Amino acid sequence: MARRDVVALGSAIVDLGVRVRAREIDRLGLARGTMTLAEAEDLDRLIEAVGGEVEIRGGGSAANTAVGLASLGVDTAMVTQVGDDDLGERWASEVAEAGVEVVLVPAPPGSRTARSLIMVDEGGERTMVTSLGVASSLDVDELPLPLLAEARWCFVEGYLLDAAGDGLFERLDVVRRLGGRIALSLGDQLLVDRHRDRLVRALGRVVDVVLGNGAEAAQLVRRQALSTIVEELQARGVEGALTLGADGAVVFSADEALHQPAPETIADVVDTTGAGDQFAAGYLAALVRGGDLSSRAMLGTHVATAVVTHEGARPRPDTPLAAAPALTELLAGLGLSREADPAFDERSSDEPVAGERHGE
């Protein structure tokens, strides 16, 4: 049997999207652009306090990336756990319909699927409050080690550390010793702060590739200058990519780094919720197909650029990639496919999206 390209490992979360004013985020005492954990009852009260029309859609950082990978033609599976409820069934069906094989870890009877209230302000920035539900009690001993190890890459969201702690990296260490390779998304600054020691110990020992944004990476290695941050990560034996908002993105290997500036403006930015997750999808798609640093940066950029033009964190058929000759050539060279749209021709073909955050 051929090896699967990517197996994603993360929480199954149902997103509850709502439009708010930035000042409302401040009034609620939340830090803009972050993810905060809450008990189910507290989340229910917050939803009531925010009001407005709530849109229900499938979410979860690793799941969003998995769907993005599948949309590019990458053979992808997702290992996760849903609750014993209708939301869990709906979530699993949506991901499967997007072309991802869903592998479910058994859940206790009566358990609830994780939910995340995603408040998107007028600038497109998202602030999240999440109730983990059954995801808070994930038993890492239930993870299917052969499936994870036999994939070319195992992609793991850092948010699982809130449920599994040290057990996550202990299990992934087994995967790596069985021949698997591990790519990790950092999630957000608060998560890095909660688990910094664990994350630092895992770099190079368990984790081969790290994906995040500049602020998360600065928090991780406790450096401020971008060049020093990259050098520190390289010294710890990892490669990866850091998105930098309006300053573009940097991708790096063990001995090389490539910075691509962002365009001055990106038209039609509606919702940045999935920008980081879809950048990861493009990066990983190029990585698994043998693409160099430039290829990973370009594809990550274009996939992220497309997703910020609509509501939600996953690709949609009506927002395809730019019809840029360089991108078309890149996709063909990597054996990938994604519908292109001539309406995107005015956008840059080689530059990353501005204003993105890596996260859910």
248 falls in which pLDDT band (50, 70, 90)?
confident
What local confidence, expressed as pLDDT, does residue 357 receive? Answer: 31
Per-residue pLDDT for 264 more than 70?
no
269 falls in which pLDDT band (50, 70, 90)?
confident
- How far are the Cα atoms of 64, 92, 129 from residue 96, in angstroms, in the given order? 12, 6, 26
- 83 versus 138: the higher-pLDDT residue is 83
Residue 343's identity, in one-letter code, is: A
Mean predicted confidence (pLDDT) in 73-77: 95
What local confidence, expressed as pLDDT, does residue 267 receive? Answer: 60
For residue range 33-47, list pLDDT tens digits in order.
888 889 989 999 999
Distance of CA 355 to the CA centre of its chain: 15
For the chain, percent of residues with pLDDT exceeding 90: 60
Helix (H, G, I), strand (E, B) or coil at 8: strand
Strands 239-243 and 55-59: unpaired
How far apart (Å, rounded) are the C-alpha atoms in residues 291 and 228? 25
Question: Burial of 210 by CB count in 10 Å (0-12 exposed, 13-18 middle, 19+ buried)?
Answer: buried
The DSSP element (H or E) to which 102 belongs, if any, is strand 101-104
Which domains are assigned to the chain? 6-11+63-105+135-344 (3.40.1190.20)
Mean predicted confidence (pLDDT) in 307-316: 80
What local confidence, expressed as pLDDT, does residue 7 receive? Answer: 96
Mean predicted confidence (pLDDT) in 87-106: 94
